[in-house]
Amino acid sequence: MVESLSIGWIGTGIMGNPMAGHLISKGYKVTSVYNRTASKSDSLVTRGAVFKSPIEIAKECDVIFLMLGFPKDVEELVLGKQEGILKHMKKGAYLVDHTTSTPSLAERIAVEAAEYGVRSVDAPVSGGDVGARNGTLITMAGGISEDIEYLRPIFGAYSQAIEHMGGPGAG
């Protein structure tokens, strides 16, 4: 059951913080969070999440959400040779990238994730900070249909609509 999954959230800024907050409000276990500016995670920590490094989150969580600034940030965090989280994630875990990124990067991540036994979904959102605060985002997901359907209830905590756009990179 998705409600019992341990969730990590990396990128708790203007969009990520309220999105993760909606998960907590809906009863999901957001166990750990990270942001380059630690204080941006304070409101989630006061609600029970623990501030941890990205690699610690990767080793512990069943689902990891990313909401970062730019594709280069995603590439470095996920695929980086030194600190890349993908190689530390549990087999069968889900990596969901909500960052507005590039299709080619999402495809690369999906290929490498599969090599590690990780399920990858690229899922940019539309609606801006107001939609994030109000839980009315539109999530456009790319990836394997089975993975999108599994994650759909989680996306529903902060989205008014979830559209499966196609395979990896189509989000």
pLDDT surpassing 60 at residue 115: yes
Residue 128 lies in a domain: yes
* pTM of the predicted protein model: 0.96
- Here the CATH number for the domain that contains residue 111 is 3.40.50.720
Residue 22 lies in a domain: yes
Residue 68 lies in a domain: yes
pLDDT band at 4 (very low <50, low <70, confident <90, very high): confident
Residue 87 lies in a domain: yes
What is the mean predicted confidence (pLDDT) over 65-75? 97
Q: Which residue in this structure is represented by tokens 């512990």?
A: 60
Residue 171 lies in a domain: no
What are the CA-CA distances from residue 81 to residues 75, 87, 88 (Å)? 10, 9, 12
Residue 29 lies in a domain: yes
State the total domains in the chain.
1
Q: Give the separation between CA 94 and CA 31, rounded to whole angstroms.
A: 15
What is the mean predicted confidence (pLDDT) over 138-167? 97
Residue 161 lies in a domain: yes
Domain range enclosing 27: 2-166
